[in-house]
Every structure is written in C-alpha cells, then in structure tokens.
C-alpha cells in the first residue's frame, strides 16, 4: 500500500513538495517512491532520522499548503482520489451495484468526481458503503493514515490521565494500540512494557525511538516532543505544552514492540499487571472480543486504563461528518459508550470498575455550531458537555 501511495502522491502533489520529500532520502538512495516507502518499513537509526525529518516537513506543509499535504478523507486534498480508488477496489460486488443504482455511475473515476463535487454523495457513501469495509481494509488504510502525523493521538490522554497513576505501578504492562510508542517509552521507565499495534509503520517509528534511547542517542527527543505538541495543538487548538522536562530521563526497563490485532493477542494467560488502551476500542470491530482478551492476559489485581468517546462525542462526530460531507466515519470511529454501558462491557469479563470520569469538553464555539435540536440531545455534567470517558478497571 505504501509504495502505491507514494507513487500516487509524488505525481499528484505540488512539484516543489514532491522534490522536498524526495530530498529527505539518504544520499545513497535513488529518489523513488519505493525507497520512500521502504524507509517507513525500517527501524534503524538512518530510517528513524528520515521519518522524523519527514514528519517535521509534513507539519510545515499542512500549515503552508493544506491541499497538498498528506490527509485522509478531505475532498479538497490531493490524496482524496487515492483513498476512494482503494475503497472502491475493496468493496464487494453488491455494494458496487448499489452505488451504480443509487448514484448513476459506472466507473470509479465518475465516483471520484461526484464525491469531490457533492457533499450529499459523500454522506450517502459514508452511511451506505463505508460499513462494507472490514477490519483488514482499515488496517491497510492505516499504513497511509500513519503518514499524516508522527504522534498517535493518545499522548494527551496518557500524560494527563494515566501516567500520574501508572508511574507508581510495577510489573509487566501491555500498551494495547501503542501507535508510535511514546507512551510505551514513558511507561518503560517503571514497568516492563510490550507495545502492540496493527500498523507496521507506526511500530517501526516506536522501535526506532526505543533503539536510539537504548544506545544513548536521545538528542532527538526535543524534536519528537516538539512534533507531538504541534500536532496536539492542531487537534485540540492553541499551543499545547504537554510534556514536562525530564519525562524520559530514567533508564528503560524491558521494552518490546509486536505487530498484531487486539482481538487475537498472542500472549500467555495472566501475563500482564497493567493494560493501557487509549483512543483505540472505538476503532475495533468487536470490542467485546478485545476486552475478553484483556481479561485473559491479565493477572488478578491487574489495572486496565481505557479512554473512549461517549454519546456526546458520537453526536458531535456525526455533526462534523454531515457538515463536511465526510466519506468515511470521522476518525474511523465505529463505537461510543456511556459510563454504564462501558462498565457493563468490562464487568461482564470479570473486570471491576475502579474509576470512571468524563473529560475533553465541548468548547463554546463548537456548541454554538450545533442546532438547537442537537444541543437538546447533549448530556451535561457540572463542567459542561464531555466528549470522552476515562475509566480504570481491575481484574478480580
């Protein structure tokens, strides 16, 4: 998928951007799409240095020329036709026939032009066809989506909600959906950590960071932290100083990264004392299988930390989808939970609730964008309208 994407991107983005990206390749390599893709499939020092420079360049491009940066599900972005082409190829014949009947198109090129031009067509695609893509399709997309940001999105939740509690724990931890591995690195100062993710490019990023830290080459950390803070600022708005000085100064314990799916964990029963799963469950096709696996691989007394979107988050997600004419579910979210439903899901697997609290509140500006009917559906607490839930469970 990556080779194909870079071949497309270099031929469709602005020429000066293509030249800038290719110039990042090490001097001994030919400037080709295949070599770009190959750099994300490695975790050695040279590959990691390239990846870091790539994401710094992409952050600049997002600000200066957003139509030509790497982006997912933005019909004004140069990458949009690539994702539609790939989705079309993966749709079953019945879904393609449904599209032809409903939209009156026979070729994918016609579909791409229609989706770019009409938000109504994009909304129809999302509501009627996006669900036809399976977990394997999303995993394939994620190889390219992983090129958008260096970070994984869960760093803010980890540092503000989980880490204050986790740094007092000891034993073995599973970072479930570890992404680029920043949280895994921080945890590994206190626990033996295994990070698991389905996305190979993100895992290679994580392995690259871990290898360089083990070798005492930590000078890159300020650049990584700067990137994460820039990206979190883009997501949450404003300047985000998220990471305190010295957060990665202690010596790492054992740290391993493996590729895999959370509903089929290749670990022994009762292997872990801690599980961290942030901004992940909502992306899985069968969360109950994932939680069953968490229960299986944890020891009695193990702590499990999770964050998920709630009904407010689902409502606002749907508003954003409809407003922009999203072709796929926003952020590829497939589920949301209220506290009681989330507690039932975990308690059904012998995991008792320790803590449950809302966070990530709807801003006044966002609230004002909603219709009166949508605002009436929101559920408030004393602090406003939360969009997510943070929960801690214990294995009985």
DSSP string, 353-368: EEEEEEEEEPPHHHHH
Q: What pLDDT is attached to residue 20?
A: 97
Q: What pLDDT is attached to residue 234?
A: 67
- pLDDT tens profile 349-372: 999 999 999 999 999 999 999 999
Task: Kindly tell me if the per-residue pLDDT of 384 is higher than 60.
Answer: yes
- pLDDT tens profile 163-201: 999 989 999 999 999 999 999 999 999 999 999 999 999
- Compute how many other C-beta atoms are within 10 angstroms of the C-beta atom of residue 157: 21
Q: What pLDDT is attached to residue 328?
A: 86
Lowest-confidence region among 111-125, 141-155, 350-364, 375-389: 141-155
Q: Tell me how far apart the alpha carbons of residues 266 and 256 are, in angstroms, rounded to a whole number.
A: 13
Task: Kindly tell me if the per-residue pLDDT of 35 is higher than 70.
Answer: yes
Q: What pLDDT is attached to residue 378?
A: 95
Q: What pLDDT is attached to residue 236?
A: 57
Q: What pLDDT is attached to residue 165?
A: 93
Is the pTM higher than 0.75? yes
Is the Cα torsion angle 48, 173, 334, 338 positive or negative in sign?
negative
Q: Tell me how far apart the alpha carbons of residues 336 and 209 are, in angstroms, rounded to a whole number.
A: 32
Q: What pLDDT is attached to residue 310?
A: 94
Q: Tell me how far apart the alpha carbons of residues 275 and 281 are, in angstroms, rounded to a whole number.
A: 13
- pLDDT tens profile 237-260: 555 555 555 677 777 889 999 999
Helix (H, G, I), strand (E, B) or coil at 174: strand
Lowest-confidence region among 10-24, 212-226, 372-386: 212-226
Q: Which residue has the tokens 């988050």?
A: 313
> Which among 33, 46, 40, 39 has a CA at the least distance from the CA of 6?
33
Q: Tell me how far apart the alpha carbons of residues 21 and 4 are, in angstroms, rounded to a whole number.
A: 16
For residues 40 and 2, the answer to whether their CB atoms sit within 8 Å is: yes
- pLDDT tens profile 210-237: 998 888 888 888 888 888 888 877 665 5
pLDDT (mean) for 58-78: 94
Query: DSSP character for 30?
Result: -
Q: What pLDDT is attached to residue 243?
A: 59
- pLDDT tens profile 295-328: 999 999 999 999 999 999 999 988 988 888 899 8
Lowest-confidence region among 38-52, 101-115, 229-243: 229-243
Percent of the chain predicted with pLDDT > 70: 95
Is the Cα torsion angle 127, 129, 134, 140 positive or negative in sign?
negative
Q: What pLDDT is attached to residue 238?
A: 52
pLDDT (mean) for 136-140: 78
pLDDT (mean) for 261-273: 95
Structural domains for the chain: 2-68 (no CATH), 80-145 (no CATH), 155-395 (3.40.50.150)
């Amino acid at each position: 998928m990556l080779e194909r994407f870079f071949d497309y991107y270099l031929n469709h983005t602005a020429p000066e951007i293509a030249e800038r990206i290719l110039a990042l390749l090490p001097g001994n390599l030919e400037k080709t799409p295949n070599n770009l893709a190959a750099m994300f499939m490695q975790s050695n020092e040279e590959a990691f240095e390239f990846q870091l420079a790539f994401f710094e360049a992409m952050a600049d491009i997002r600000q200066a020329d957003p139509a030509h940066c790497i982006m997912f599900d933005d019909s004004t972005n140069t990458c949009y036709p690539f994702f539609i082409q790939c989705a079309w190829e993966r749709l079953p014949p019945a879904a393609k026939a449904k599209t032809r009947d409903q939209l009156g198109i026979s070729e994918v090129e016609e579909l791409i032009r229609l989706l770019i031009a009409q938000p109504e067509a994009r909304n129809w695609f999302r509501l009627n066809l996006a669900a036809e893509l399976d977990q394997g399709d999303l995993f394939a997309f994620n190889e390219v989506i992983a090129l958008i940001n260096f970070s994984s999105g869960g760093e803010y939740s980890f540092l503000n909600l989980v880490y204050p509690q986790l740094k007092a724990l000891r034993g073995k931890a599973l970072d479930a959906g570890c992404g680029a591995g920043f949280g895994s690195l921080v945890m590994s100062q206190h626990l033996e950590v295994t990070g698991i993710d389905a996305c190979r490019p993100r895992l290679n990023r994580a392995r690259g960071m871990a290898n360089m830290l083990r070798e005492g080459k930590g000078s890159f950390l300020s650049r990584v932290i700067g990137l994460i803070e820039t990206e979190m600022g883009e997501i949450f708005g404003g300047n985000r100083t998220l990471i305190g000085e010295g957060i990665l100064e202690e010596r790492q314990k054992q740290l391993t990264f493996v590729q895999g799916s959370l509903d089929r964990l290749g670990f022994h029963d009762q292997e872990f004392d801690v599980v961290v799963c942030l901004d992940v469950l909502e992306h899985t096709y069968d969360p109950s299988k994932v939680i069953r696996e968490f229960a299986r691989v944890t020891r009695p007394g193990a702590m499990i930390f999770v964050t998920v979107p709630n009904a407010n988050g689902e409502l606002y997600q749907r508003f954003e989808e409809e407003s922009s004419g999203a072709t796929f579910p926003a952020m590829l979210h497939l589920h949301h939970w209220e506290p009681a439903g989330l507690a039932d899901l975990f308690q059904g697997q012998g995991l008792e609730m320790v803590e449950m609290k809302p966070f990530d509140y709807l801003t006044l500006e966002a609230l004002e964008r909603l219709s009166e009917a949508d605002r009436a559906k929101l559920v408030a607490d004393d602090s406003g309208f939360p969009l997510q839930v943070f929960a801690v469970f214990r294995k009985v």
